[in-house]
Chains A and B, each alone.
Chain A
């Protein structure tokens, strides 16, 4: 059982927007603006998409955006494209005892 809770799957049609939620607690997501999101294709290496809740690394499309409210962080993908179909994982810093926690992952299907 993962420390952060994500929906197992989400889906959307090309051009639409989808949002993936990531719910934690006051010990992780709620206490630190250190949430990151990763995209992973089957059999491939994870790729950093968002860090520090809202920041995009160089080269990541601006169709990807992050936000946070309370203990829940969210990843929004706008203008959905077929190439966005992948697994997405959220991650949060959780203090000097636990350090890092992940969500269980969300499978995005582009219909």
Chain B
């Protein structure tokens, strides 16, 4: 398993954008597929999307299509998730995780709390 280091908590206003980063310690991006998932307070898990850095290929949840962009920068060994047009119900802990070939998530970051408030 790999340790994933995520960026710190964010407080944003409605309509703005947020970018959360995720860096694997001791490895390169090309070794993994990275998924982003989120969990609203007191709620269940929701898949946001993923990226295969070696292919430059991203997939996104239909519910967030058009608002979410997942990228990877090999030069900084960092994956990013950017969510635009923030709404109150985007308030959640956002996790990055490495994805096995079988669409399961084995290593997780500690999560980044994104709060959308006016």
B100 touches A51 (CB 8 A): yes
The one of B35, B62, B95, B102 in contact with A45, judged by C-beta atoms closer than 8 angstroms, is B95
**Interface size bracket, A side:** 20 to 34
The residues in A between 23 and 72 inclusive whose CB is less than 8 angstroms from any CB of B are 34, 36, 38, 45-48, 51-52, 57
Given known contacts A36-B105, A45-B110, A51-B104, A102 and B46 CB-to-CB distance under 8 angstroms: yes
Contact indicator B45/A38 (Cβ below 8 Å):
yes
Residues B104 and A36 in contact, CB atoms below 8 Å apart: yes
Q: Which of A51, A92, A98 contacts B62 (CB 8 A)?
A: A98
Q: How far, in Å, is B58 (CB) from chain A's closest CB?
A: 11
**B interface residues, how many (CB within 8 angstroms):** 20
Please give, as numbers and ranges, the residues of chain B lying within 8 Å of A92 by CB-CB distance: 103
Q: Is the CB of A36 within 8 A of B62?
A: no
A20, B35: Cα distance in complex, Å = 25
Most buried by A among B100, B104, B105: B104
Contact of B102 among A51, A99, A103, A104 (CB under 8 A): A51
Q: Which residues of B are found within 8 Å of A34, using beta-carbon distances?
A: 102-104
| A interface residues (Cβ-Cβ under 8 A, vs B) | 2, 34, 36, 38, 45-48, 51-52, 57, 89, 91-93, 97-105
